[in-house]
Amino acid sequence: MFATKYQSIESTNDSLKPDTPIQMTQLFKISHLGDIDPVPCPCGTSRRAFMDPDNSVASIHLVEIKKDSRTHYHKTLTEIYLILEGEGHMELDGELYPVKPMSTILIKPGCRHRAIGQMKIVNIPVPKFDPEDEWFD
């Protein structure tokens, strides 16, 4: 049964253009971050994929960090940052750590954090990002 579903999904994808955003309700979803409108966040602006109600596992965000973002924390979310462009620092629980492209940071619940410097990052919140779980001192 799984092979049949997989084959039908695979054959459906053969007819898609490379930039066509699609969402599948079966075993996977595909999103194109460039097609998602940015929203304000404590770090700058964020394009958030997989935020639909039927997904609770994780989301992925393309974030444009402004020069000096706002310190915040999460009570339940773990975040994974991947620095794509720019250099600067991550402030983690009050200490500064240098970051550059391809640096990765795992931020556990309760860690006060912010990025310092103009950067572009990928942020993967686990579970899916919840705007109610953004806290400021």
Write down the pLDDT at residue 86. Answer: 97
Residue of 5, 22, 8, 137 whose CA lies nearest to 74:
137
Six token digits for residue 56: 């609770």
pLDDT above 70: residue 24: no
pLDDT above 50: residue 15: no
User: SS3 letters for the chain?
Assistant: CHHHHHHHHHHHHCCCCCCCCCCCCCCCCCCCHHHCCCEEECCEEEEEECCCCCCCCCCEEEEEECCECCCEECCCCEEEEEEEECCEEEEECCEEEEECCCCEEEECCCCCEEEECCEEEEEEEECCCCHHHCECC
Sign of the four-CA dihedral 32, 44, 59, 104: positive
Write down the pLDDT at residue 2. Answer: 35
pLDDT-derived band of residue 23, with 50, 70 and 90 as boundaries?
low
Residue of 24, 21, 46, 23 whose CA lies nearest to 32:
21
Task: Map out the domains of the chain as residue ranges.
Answer: 1-30, 34-133
Least confident of 25-29, 71-75, 88-92, 130-134: 25-29
Which superfamily does CATH assign the domain made up of 34-133 to? Jelly Rolls (2.60.120.10)
Write down the pLDDT at residue 122. Answer: 98
Least confident of 10-19, 68-77, 100-109, 119-128: 10-19
Residue of 113, 130, 120, 132 whose CA lies nearest to 46:
120
Least confident of 21-35, 40-54, 123-137: 21-35
Q: What is the pLDDT of residues 45-103, one digit of tens each?
A: 999 999 999 999 999 999 999 887 899 999 999 999 999 999 999 999 999 999 999 99
How do 95-99 and 88-92 pair as beta strands?
antiparallel
